[in-house]
A and B are shown apart, each in its own frame.
Chain A
Amino acid sequence: MTKPPIASFRSVSKYYGTHCALRDFDLDLGEGELLTLLGPSGCGKTTVLRLLAGFETPDSGEILLDGRTLAGVPPEARNVNTVFQSYALFPHLSVFENVAFGLRMRKLGGAEIRERTGSALRMVRLEGLGGRRPLQLSGGQQQRVALARALVNRPRVLLLDECLSALDYRLRREMQLELKELQRQTGITFVFVTHDREEALSISDRIAVMQTGRIEQLGPPRDIYERPANLFVARFAGESNVLKATVTGVPGPDTLIVNLAGTLLTVQADRNFGIGEKIALVLRPEDLHVHETPAGQSLAGRVLERTYRGVTLDTLIALDAGPRIKASEFFREDAPALDHPPGQRVHVSWTPGWEIVLPHDAET
């Protein structure tokens, strides 16, 4: 990043009792980016938001906003706003007054409040509903009120805490697009917390995958999905078939010969491994092709089960080498024979180089 970061975490740690929520956490937020904190529950992602909003104070380390420390600055004095998971709309105030709340706290003039609140409501397509009470709105509309209430203050950073998780699937997709669009329009930096990988992959400029209070990998969605730093990220970023193998030869740079339970495979690796080292071979289900006859480098097995999923046909295969793997194939004109009956002997192949080779951590 060439521009200085808007906000930075400098080796921040946070404990709840003896439980460590964040450990030596470092993160820089860029101007106008949409950064997603992705991780399972309890990984510390919400703690990051609460620390930046000011609801929690770090036990050690420092948080900066526009180069100034936030130590001792209460939430009400931070130019940061939050869209809460529960929305936390004020039930006793109208939609208009909910959105105007932050502006009234800043003692702006009546005309400016009306104008800015009105345009915030237009932005989230709720014009005309300003007189309603929050409880008279649908979930999606409440979500938009919460967004408008935060955005109307033009914060330096907007924090979104799993705020789409209460919506149904279709509405959620819609709101994801809308969020991305709002973020582009306003140019405000968004920090979005979620445990939904599809959501993270589809809307983010950058994703920080978190586990037990640390960032496992930080990068653009494509890097996270295609070049995961470790097995945890690989599994969390998408469906994965993980196969254990041993390196038996290093014929050239970035190329390995590995032994997968007796089958020798040539694979591409973007890091160095020594002979005898254990590796994990990660294959995404959608990268796999299933044939009834051997085709190039492939793994042999037997079909266990098929699941028709509309867009794809999923096949569960028991490899002769032992593990089970799943293949998700798209219906295409040039591949008519997708439907292999259970019990059928098959060979699984993939485009050379699309495999991911990772060190085999203790964690499997």
Chain B
Amino acid sequence: MTPKPEVFRAVAIGLLSGWLLLFVLTPNLLVAGVSVLSRNPAGFAGAPATLDNYRRLADPIYLHVFAESFTTALVATLLCLLLGYPFAYGLARTRPRLRPLLLTLVIVPFWTNSLVRIYAIRGLLAAKGAVNSLLLAAGLIDQPVRLLYTQAAEIIGLVYVLLPFMVLPLYGSLEKLDPRLLEAAQDLGAGPFRRFRRVVLPLTLPGIVAGCLLVFLPALGLFYVGDVLGGSRHLLIGNLLKDQFLEAQDWPFGAAASLVLIALLLAFLALYAVAEKRVAATNDDE
């Protein structure tokens, strides 16, 4: 007997909601619950209920970690955008036969574990690493410069690991861009800059936003990049969370920190959604 479409629909929706309920909603509710409990050396968390964990987050030390982590992630995202946009543009404009090869090259680094690649970057940036050796050999510097354990090293690592997440959505939207629209804009008197500003940019905005989100969100949490390249002085939010759960065994505080992070990210997304509606609205009344 063939199942009726309604049955199929009910099963599909049921599975999906069940999955979300079990693996998304429940863990987050657990985290929320733990965040208002006290630390318990015997277990993970226990009575009494308290808001102390949130109060502790207001400590300048943690505010500093949040601020620095956001700056690091933001700079890494902007760098990815600046590097990724021309790259994706070139990719979308090469001969169609070459594109699969170039796309594969973008994806190939994924075949190596990113932790291993971060250690490779560490090798390059170390005091006696390849970069310093090269600069010394070229006579540009007299003694090795400090590259490792700086914010810059962290940013380099993040850009390196996350660049493909920027390139792929950008490529997706640039490839869909009809080159005839550019000819039309040119025909109507738009020079190269205004063609980009008035046609290319607005039409690839979804790709830009998707790319930025795909880079920015992981950049806040990639704790091993902070561990391996940033050292102890440059913590990412990811490091903070990991340390609370694994090192300090302070689950309630870690849970509170991660909830605040989620809240901040949701606020960003909401801001973006509002901004986008505004832009669409201004286009319409003009």
Contact = CB atoms under 8 A, between A and B. Distances in A.
A80 to B, nearest CB: 8
Given A76-B191, A153-B188, A94 B180 contact: no
B50 to A, nearest CB: 51
A92 B189 contact: no
A6 B40 CA distance: 89
B46 interface: no
Given A91-B203, A105-B189, A97 B283 contact: yes
B183 A106 contact: no
A81 interface: yes
Interface stretch (A35-43, A82-90, A239-247, A329-337): A82-90
B184 interface: yes
A90 B286 contact: no
Contacts of A276: none
B152 interface: no
Contacts of B284: 94, 131
B283 A82 contact: no
B190 interface: yes
Taking residues whose C-beta sits less than 8 angstroms from the other chain, chain A's interface range is 20 to 34
B202 A84 contact: no
A101 B202 CA distance: 14
B203 A105 contact: no
Nearest to A82: B187
A284 interface: no
Contacts of A5: none
A96 B181 CA distance: 17
B178 interface: yes
Nearest to A50: B183
A88 B184 contact: yes
A318 to B, nearest CB: 49
Contact of B180 (A76, A86, A92, A131): A86
A88 B185 CA distance: 9
A88 B190 contact: no
A94 B283 CA distance: 7
A92 B181 CA distance: 11
Of A86, A89, A92, most B-chain CB atoms within 10 Å: A92
A88 B199 CA distance: 12
Given A88-B181, A93-B283, A81 B187 contact: yes
A75 B187 contact: yes
Contacts of B203: 91-92
A102 interface: yes
B194 interface: yes
Given A76-B190, A92-B203, A97 B286 contact: yes
Contacts of A81: 187-188
A84 B182 CA distance: 12
Interface in A124-156: 131, 149-150, 153
A84 B183 contact: yes
Interface in B192-213: 194, 198-199, 202-203
A105 B184 contact: no
Contacts of B189: 76-77, 102, 105-106, 153
A270 B267 CA distance: 84
Interface string B48-64: 00000000000000000
B232 interface: no
Contacts of B199: 90
B186 interface: yes
Contacts of A93: 283
A288 interface: no
Given A94-B283, A97-B286, A74 B186 contact: yes
Contacts of A100: 286
Contacts of A149: 188
Contacts of A327: none
A55 B191 contact: no
Contact of A105 (B180, B194, B202, B283): B194
Interface in A104-133: 105-106, 131
Contacts of A92: 202-203, 283
A53 interface: yes
Interface string B116-156: 00000000000000000000000000000000000000000
Nearest to A105: B189
Contacts of A80: 187
Interface string B66-106: 00000000000000000000000000000000000000000
Interface in A6-58: 53-55
A76 B283 contact: no
Interface in A259-313: none
A55 B183 contact: yes
A77 B189 CA distance: 6
A93 B198 CA distance: 10
A164 B180 CA distance: 17
Nearest to B199: A90
Interface string A153-175: 10000000000000000000000
Contacts of A82: 183-184, 187
Interface of B: 178, 180-181, 183-191, 194, 198-199, 202-203, 283-284, 286
27 contacts: A75-B183, A76-B187, A76-B189, A76-B190, A77-B189, A81-B187, A82-B183, A82-B184, A84-B183, A84-B184, A88-B178, A88-B183, A91-B203, A92-B202, A92-B203, A93-B283, A94-B283, A94-B284, A94-B286, A97-B286, A100-B286, A101-B198, A105-B190, A105-B194, A150-B187, A150-B188, A153-B188
Given A88-B181, A105-B189, A131-B284, 4 more contacts: A77-B189, A92-B203, A101-B190, A102-B188
Minimum-distance CB pairs A-B, first 10: A105-B189, A102-B188, A88-B184, A88-B180, A75-B186, A92-B202, A82-B187, A76-B189, A101-B188, A76-B186
